[in-house]
A and B are shown apart, each in its own frame.
Chain A
Amino acid sequence: MNYEEEKIKGLSLTIWLRLLKYFKGLKKQILKAFIVILAATGGSAAYPLFIRYAVSNFVVPGTTKGIVPFTAVCFGFILIVGVCIYFWTKLLMGLEMNLSMIIRRDCFVHLQKLQLAYHNVNSVGYLIGRVMSDTERISSMISWGFSGLVESILFLFFSITFMLILSPKLAIILIIVIPAAGIIAWIFQRKIIVISRRVRELNSKITGSYNEGITGSKTSKTLVIEDLNSAEFSTLSNNMRRESIRSSRLNALMMPMVMSLGSIALSIVLYRGGTLVGKQLLDFGIISAFVTYAVSTIEPIVWVSGVISEMVSAQVGIERVTGLLNEPITIVDLPEVIKKYGDTFDPKRENWEPVLGGVSFENVWFKYPDGDEYVLEDFSLDIPSGTTVAIVGETGAGKSTIVNLACRFYEPTEGRVLIDGRDSRERSQLWLHSSLGYVLQDPHLFSGTIIDNIRYGRLDATDEEVMAAASLVSADTIATRLPDGFSSDVGEGGDNLSTGEKQLVSFARAVLADPPIFVLDEATSSIDTETERLIQNAISHMLKGRTSFIIAHRLSTIVRSDLILVVEDGKIVERGTHKELLAAGGHYSSLYKAMRLEEIMQ
């Protein structure tokens, strides 16, 4: 959840200028839109002139001579304005959508490059907010806000010009009223923005309350605090009611006030105009045009002030998006590495050496970017190709650190990680990552078919290869259960499958990739015995002849591995084979006993 607590700042040009590069590519569209707006607005502003013409030429003299050509001209004019409005809407919609498409893409691509450390500290919800809603808000602000602004200003400009041409003496009245109305509207809009921000905050708190009230319902019932929860919610909800009414009240006050100003202007026009007509200095037609102007210039003023204050609040979104785009990428390949191996989006696979799977840690010191304690201090470990390394320890003890470094998701603070004897920084990230098979405890699938998901491991695999990989880890049993077999949709995040099934699919995915290095985060969640057996089979298939890191929860896996690392509080406290560690009688042996106990209980 994101509580907006930003202060209202003035309109800051520098913030908007950050978006300048996006405008450059859209110059043509912007120009076209401007021309169309100019035409349409000029046309609308000229409507009162028709009234004036009709009054002066037909009504006052009492004749219908020339009314047919007049009607025809007006008709044509209206059609032209209509067509302009059509293009205007279409062009602006295009501008908005293209702009948001480009900014969104930039955000997405940047997120692909940002290190995992960034992803770990920023929630998915927050990032989605940046990529989706902020970009949309910015671009709609730019296209519709700006166009509204341009339209309103143009409309005022045209209206004032026409009025000045018709009668400077009457025009002056409206010219004085316009800024006055503008100031009133502006003052209100600023207040409205502050209040509506408060309303939004309250609204997200209310959502939070519902969330807590519902997810915590079991706890609330056992503690019998339903009434307390409801009372707290009522307070919150009542606040929301009060603030919403306030905000509506401001709105309700602004419009009549500004409109009244317009009507006062109308009265003055009537009075002055009437006097002038009486002195034969003005004709009826002009009065009628001014009556229309007095009414129609007020709305654009409200618009302008509204847009400007909206723009002020949209700045927050721009700052957030540009903040994301400017977020420094800390794990980057050196220029000479990119030159030889290519980058993530343009790899030069022809220059890639095959990965054998030897991993060594050489005097590695490491602390997480958000932590201040070293979790690895002068850690050295040589893992020859084909070794199975089990990492054991309590939940949250920091078992992933070794894996994160070996995979270069993080880089050591000091020291080196070597892959096949060379510093992993000497080769590109993609080179290493393309040689990894990664199976997570909570397997992540993408929406699509089972085939799609397995093929994620190797994009150019044929259907036969996919199915072969699947049958190797018994993932084909899932396909037989489902109506569409391998082409069955797994649903969003794979939710149509059970956790065990998802795991099997992710095994197949990794097997298809046929990687020299394997990372496996075993599941602790209880899976039915049948699936459990399948998974055990799958694992033993996969580990053959590969370097593998297993964050292990199952005794059988641990006991069978070549090397066991015991992690406590983020640090490696013991290392050795099962026998060695058991004989040592330290952390491992007590951990082992506890795990044996659990197994018996289940």
Chain B
Amino acid sequence: MFKKKIWKMLLSFTHGIKRYFLISILAAAASSLMSFLTPIIVGFTVDNVIGGGAQSSLPGPIMSLYNFLSSRGIFGSKLAICAIFAALCAIIAGSFNYLSRTNMAKGSESMINNLRIKLFKHTQSLPFEWHSKNQTGDIIQRCTSDVETTRRFVFQQLIEVLRTVIMLVMVMIIMFTLNPIMALVVTVFLPIIMLYTVFFFKRVADKFLECDEAEGELMVRVQENLTGVRVVRAFGREKYETERFDEKNVAFTKKWLSLGGTYGQFWGISDSVSAMQLLCVIVTGSLLAARGTLSFGELLVFISYTQMVAWPVRQLGRVLSEMSKTGVSLGRINEILEAPGETDPPDALEPPMDRDIEFKDVSFSYDVETDQQVLKNVSFTIKNGTTFGILGSTGSGKSSITYLLNRLYEIGANSGAITIGGINIQQINRKYLRKNIGLVLQEPFLFSKTILENIDIASHGQDLGKVREKAAIAAVDDNIMSFSKGYETIVGERGVTLSGGQKQRVAIARTLMMNAPVMVFDDSMSSLDMETDAKIREALRIDTAQATVILISHRISTLMKADKIMVLDEGRVAEIGTHQELIDKNGIYRRVYDLQSGIDDER
């Protein structure tokens, strides 16, 4: 049914919770047994107590109990004993049923919980490269709807199949012991019903797919219309759009209508087959009873059993036909889990990080196949405690330098090395490395939490004073205080939307909270005006006096006070030196500087 490795994966999530499944199945068996007993008691009552004959009997121990009670006359009449037996039977069956279902819920929910958490942790540990290669929507879909499919499979299908099978086996044994001919009549119909169900759901699966597709097309129409509402309005295409919508709306409806007929057939036929089964049981029973080989009570037993098995058998057919769908989902989940996450060898180093950083002949390309190098033999040294500026245009490789330094991407073999205090960063524990490099990304991501929690996220539990201090350095404290909820303001989807500049400043404050010996600002002030930029830099200079600071920008004013400035051009180091040296050099830096200070001729 499924591949072996998928079963193995599923099984790995049942660690420590297998007992729930075991209890659930045992209880289900007990419950079925008890509920099969009730009709027997009813039949016995009808035959022996009400009818006064002695054609049928109860299973051994219950019969002895009955004889014991009736001989002592404990509950009054024999009829009363039987009635109490029947009621007790049902109540015990119900209790076992409850036990079975709650354990099943515990087992499957725990298992899915394990799966969810494992998936989340794994996506967190997967290298950034994996994230950038896979589409977010697809990953989320796997983590949510495929997990839901799995949950349904475990919760409703896997256990249900086992229960139904156990139940069927038991009822068969009981029926064949009671009366083989009647048992045969009941049994003959079971494969018919089941096969018909499997056949039907296999058949409608295709139609369902068509319906899903039609719904998808309709959905796309609606979505495109709504996202393109400006285009629709600007061209005055409301009527045209409505016609196009109608087309898909009707097509979708028609698909379902045809499915309605198919479903009608299924329910009509399968209900009729079940009723036929009952009719056959009644007729055969009557014939046998007339011959005297079947008692009235036994007939009642068979009628009850027929009704009891009809529904589960139909369910079984349905479940079997849905299994292939689950297999696909499980496979997709397994693909994520199989992708190797970031792991550090146990002997990974944690050296002091307040040392010189050196890029030695580093070359890098994101795509090994096309080998389009974004960095070409880049070498430079950043002295500990100094400020290092990197100037470069879009696509010059500025950000790649930070990614490599932070090991978001790894340098390939024979493509150079980055060292800190002489130690290759590939030997350093990743988390340790990243904790010690405070990196502010170009497009920072804020979590949908309060601003306080966002700033404090990497420093865990600092007080508001500390947070405000850093926010003030990032020149965002005033902004935050102007919100009605101040630092308790929730950002993101459920809260306020911050502007690009506000986001950048919150991200700066967040990174400052890390107090890392190395700080990298990757174009982190691009959305800010020059004044704010200058203000932040001044405050930073004091706050990060001890730290090594790497500033990346295409604004000269951001960089000119750095101890050393490197100009990147198409992945190569074009110029490197102090502000004055570069000015004197009369190269790219000088050109940009002239423009910045307004010496440029205004054409």
B58: interface (CB < 8 Å): no
- Name which of B61-69, B106-114, B345-353, B374-382 contacts chain A: B106-114
Q: Known A94-B257, A111-B226, A600-B592; judge A240-B113 contact (CB<8 A).
A: yes
Contacts of B222 in A (CB 8 A): 108, 128, 131-132
A105 to B242, CA, bound (A): 8
Q: For residue A457, which residue of chain B has the nearest CB? A: B235
Q: Are B257 and A93 in contact (CB under 8 A)?
A: yes
A291 to B299, CA, bound (A): 12
Q: Are B140 and A434 in contact (CB under 8 A)?
A: no
- Name which of B356-364, B442-450, B474-482, B539-547 contacts chain A: B442-450
Q: Are B278 and A47 in contact (CB under 8 A)?
A: yes
Q: Are B124 and A260 in contact (CB under 8 A)?
A: no
B173: interface (CB < 8 Å): no
Q: For residue A285, which residue of chain B has the nearest CB? A: B296
Which A residues between 79 and 95 are near B, CB-CB below 8 angstroms?
79, 81-90, 92-94
A41 to B463, CA, bound (A): 68
Q: Are A253 and B98 in contact (CB under 8 A)?
A: yes
Q: Are B84 and A128 in contact (CB under 8 A)?
A: no
A141: interface (CB < 8 Å): no
A100 to B257, CA, bound (A): 12
Q: For residue B115, which residue of chain A has the nearest CB? A: A237
Q: Are B279 and A104 in contact (CB under 8 A)?
A: no
Q: Are B231 and A64 in contact (CB under 8 A)?
A: no
B80: interface (CB < 8 Å): yes
A437 to B116, CA, bound (A): 49
Q: Known A109-B242, A230-B117, A256-B94; judge A267-B267 contact (CB<8 A).
A: no
Q: Are B117 and A214 in contact (CB under 8 A)?
A: no
Q: Are B102 and A252 in contact (CB under 8 A)?
A: yes
A55: interface (CB < 8 Å): yes
Query: Least Cβ distance of A103 to chain B in Å?
Result: 11
A17: interface (CB < 8 Å): no
Query: Least Cβ distance of A336 to chain B in Å?
Result: 20
Q: Are B441 and A224 in contact (CB under 8 A)?
A: no
Q: Known A241-B113, A271-B83, A344-B236; judge A58-B264 contact (CB<8 A).
A: no
Which B residues between 34 and 66 are near A, CB-CB below 8 angstroms?
38, 42, 45-46, 49-51
B561: interface (CB < 8 Å): no
Contacts of B393 in A (CB 8 A): 601-602
Q: Which size class do A's interface residues fall under?
A: 35 or more
Return the CB mask of A59-98 against B: 1 if under 8 Å, else 0: 1101110010011001100110111111111101110111
Instruction: From B101, B304, B439, B554, give the contact of A291 (CB < 8 A).
Output: B304
A155: interface (CB < 8 Å): no
Contacts of A104 in B (CB 8 A): 249
Query: Least Cβ distance of A260 to chain B in Å?
Result: 5
Which B residues between 242 and 293 are near A, CB-CB below 8 angstroms?
242, 245-246, 249-250, 252-253, 256-257, 259-261, 263-269, 271-272, 275-276, 278-279, 282-283, 285-287, 289-290, 292
Instruction: From A93, A257, A493, give the contact of B224 (CB < 8 A).
Output: A493
Q: Are A222 and B143 in contact (CB under 8 A)?
A: no
A389 to B113, CA, bound (A): 59
Q: Are A58 and B286 in contact (CB under 8 A)?
A: yes
A234: interface (CB < 8 Å): yes
A446: interface (CB < 8 Å): yes
Contacts of B585 in A (CB 8 A): none
Which B residues between 128 and 177 are near A, CB-CB below 8 angstroms?
128, 131, 136, 139-140, 143-144, 155
Q: Known A78-B275, A90-B261; judge A271-B79 contact (CB<8 A).
A: yes
- Name which of A374-382, A534-542, A590-598 contacts chain B: A590-598
Q: How many A-B residue pairs have CB under 8 A?
A: 416
A108 to B124, CA, bound (A): 40
B229: interface (CB < 8 Å): yes
Query: Least Cβ distance of B548 to chain A in Å?
Result: 16
B91: interface (CB < 8 Å): yes
Q: For residue B250, which residue of chain A has the nearest CB? A: A101
Q: Are A89 and B263 in contact (CB under 8 A)?
A: yes
- Name which of B6-14, B324-332, B492-500, B576-584 contacts chain A: B492-500
Which B residues between 519 and 541 are near A, CB-CB below 8 angstroms?
527
Q: Are A59 and B226 in contact (CB under 8 A)?
A: no
Contacts of B95 in A (CB 8 A): 256
A436 to B231, CA, bound (A): 10
Q: Are A252 and B120 in contact (CB under 8 A)?
A: no
A208 to B141, CA, bound (A): 12
Q: Are A447 and B230 in contact (CB under 8 A)?
A: no
- Name which of A8-16, A158-166, A242-250, A305-313 contacts chain B: A242-250
Q: Are A98 and B253 in contact (CB under 8 A)?
A: yes
Q: For residue A229, which residue of chain B has the nearest CB? A: B124
Q: Known A225-B457, A275-B79; judge A116-B290 contact (CB<8 A).
A: no
Return the CB mask of B429-441 against A: 1 if under 8 Å, else 0: 0010011010101
* Most A CB within 10 A of own CB, among B51, B231, B435, B493: B231
B510: interface (CB < 8 Å): yes
B485: interface (CB < 8 Å): no
Query: Least Cβ distance of B400 to chain A in Å?
Result: 13
A433: interface (CB < 8 Å): yes
What 18 additional pairs, Cβ within 8 angstroms, besides A124-B223, A132-B222?
Answer: A85-B267, A90-B263, A97-B256, A101-B250, A112-B225, A112-B241, A210-B143, A215-B445, A217-B131, A219-B441, A222-B406, A223-B457, A237-B113, A245-B102, A274-B49, A284-B296, A593-B596, A596-B600
Please give me the 4 A-B residue pairs with the lowest Cβ-Cβ distance, nearest first: A93-B260, A263-B90, A256-B94, A248-B105
